[in-house]
Chains A and B, each alone.
Chain A
Amino acid sequence: QVQLQESGPGLVKPSQTLSLTCTVSGGSISSVGYYWSWIRQHPGKGLEWIGYIYHSGSTYYNPSLKSRVIISVDRSENRFSLRLSSVTAADTAVYYCARLESSGWREVYFDYWGQGSLVTVSS
């Protein structure tokens, strides 16, 4: 059973960089056909796809966040990370990591999710 666990600071100051890590257990981050993703949910609002990374390092980002987002992967530690720069209060949200099943892009869906990590942007 694949499990994902987010970790990182729960409070970030405005203009600084938000950094979160997702540790994967029960499966390899290098498995073929899976992309490792970040999704966020503003308080009381809907889900927003941030981006995802393949174990090779290929990344794909939401165009609306692309200029501020970097997703990276550490295959040796079986984890991947999110960095979001120049944060404002509008970036306050629950951040989820999730595995995207792609099966060669014949199927595309998030099959495993972390529990979520609330990040508040405030001075």
Chain B
Amino acid sequence: QSALTQPASVSGSPGQSITISCTGTSSDVGSYDLVSWYQQHPGKAPKVMIYGVSKRPSGVSNRFSGSKSGNTASLTISGLQAEDEADYYCCSYAGGSTLVFGGGTKLTVL
């Protein structure tokens, strides 16, 4: 069970849109629409931003959206704001009642 692959860092200017990819295999991301995304600010616990590939929990801004194609899931943040600067992690069901996280992506708002 290997970690999902995410870019180490992405950046964007306020108001722009960015996309973070999360690449797995046909055994995890590719087989299940059970990908979730988490935002983590320094020293804080993660917070779910997207679940079920593209669903937003109540209270999460509609600037956050998710999608999936094949073995790769993506998180898009539109209208970047300074408060979006954080680490982002994807997580997928991997079969056999197991879960796997991505390595994390540091988002910098320039």
What bracket does the count of chain A residues touching chain B fall in? 20 to 34
User: How close is A62's CB to chain B, nearest CB, in angstroms?
Assistant: 7
In whole angstroms, how far apart are the Cα atoms of A96 and B89 in the complex? 15
Please tell me if the beta carbons of A108 and B104 are within 8 angstroms of each other in the complex.
no
Quick one: closest B residue to A116, CB to CB? Answer: B45
Among B12-20, B68-76, B94-102, the one that faces the other chain is B94-102
Q: A63 is contacted by which of B34, B98, B103 (Cβ under 8 Å)?
A: B98
Contact with B along A47-64 (1 / 0, CB 8 A): 111000000000010111
| Contacting residues of chain B (7-53) with chain A, CB-CB under 8 angstroms | 34, 36, 38, 45-48, 51-52
Q: A108 is contacted by which of B36, B46, B47, B101 (Cβ under 8 Å)?
A: B36
What bracket does the count of chain B residues touching chain A fall in? 20 to 34
Residues of B within 8 A of A115 (CB): 45
| Contacting residues of chain A (60-78) with chain B, CB-CB under 8 angstroms | 60, 62-64
Residues of A within 8 A of B51 (CB): 101, 107-109
Residues of A within 8 A of B38 (CB): 47, 110
Cβ-based interface call for B3 (8 A): yes
Residues of B within 8 A of A111 (CB): 48, 57
In whole angstroms, how far apart are the Cα atoms of A60 and B1 in the complex? 14
Q: Which residues of A contact B (CB under 8 A)?
A: 39, 45-49, 60, 62-64, 96, 101, 105, 107-111, 113-116
Can you spell out 11 A-B residue pairs with CB atoms less than 8 angstroms apart?
A46-B89, A46-B102, A46-B104, A47-B89, A60-B98, A63-B98, A96-B45, A108-B36, A109-B34, A109-B36, A109-B48
Query: Lowest 4 CB-CB distances: which A-B pairs, in order?
Result: A109-B51, A109-B36, A113-B45, A46-B104
